[in-house]
Amino acid sequence: MKKDLQDAAVEFAKKKMAAFDAGHDWQHIERVRRMARHIQHKEKAGDPDVVELAAILHDIADSKFRKEDAEDSGSMAYRFLVKQGLDPVKAKAVRNVIDHISFSSGFSDREFDSVELQIVQDADRLDAMGAIGIARAFNYGGYKNRALYDPEREPAQYDSPGAYRKSDAPTLNHFYEKLFLLKELMNTTTGKEIARERHDFMVAFVEQFKKEWNPT
């Protein structure tokens, strides 16, 4: 990949994500980008250009921070890449990764799959796990003014992306509704290995949290 395209993608993403909360900002992209490179290196698979560009651009129009009728990340990334002179076939491969990367896409049967999707999706999901995943969860909960925990409110089981996105549940419920599920959703061998440790850390955290919440 030409460095000027990579640099342009970085600047484009930084501009689009400037108003996002600290758990979904440019630093999130940098972590996903580094993890995606690591997974690809270990797995020795996939197109590195598609992995890199998808990692950089996958959250430029995150649904949590845009109007419902606004352009989504995949179409925005595709238009940007073609305008930058990238082969439309490769730009489409990047878009396909972005369009199918989210956790909420798992509410329907998988319509698309690729090695690049598996790599970037694992990298993105790993950033929602472990110590950073905990920090991101509570940061976003604060951003949305959600309760830390409510012992009277049981975790929900969502049957659609819309219901999942509209949830106002306490932050601790998010561990049961999403974060604890991620370990079993990993695609790659490398992703599965890393996920196990991060999952165990989160479980220990929630157990300690509840112990401190009600010490009697």
* Per-position pLDDT tens, the chain of length 216: 778 999 999 999 999 999 899 999 999 999 999 999 999 999 999 999 999 999 999 999 988 887 766 789 999 999 999 999 999 999 999 999 999 998 866 545 567 899 999 999 999 999 999 999 999 999 999 999 999 999 999 998 877 666 667 788 999 999 999 999 999 999 999 999 999 999 999 999 999 999 999 987
DSSP state of 180: G
What's the whole-model pTM score?
0.92
48-57 vs 3-16: helix crossing angle, rounded to 10: 20
The structural architecture, per CATH, of the domain 3-213 is Orthogonal Bundle (1.10)
Residue 67 token pair: 């109007």
Closest alpha carbon to 13 in 54, 67, 65: 54
Distances 112 to 24, 54, 119, 197, 200 between C-alpha atoms, Å: 25, 15, 14, 29, 30
Residue 124 token pair: 């993105």
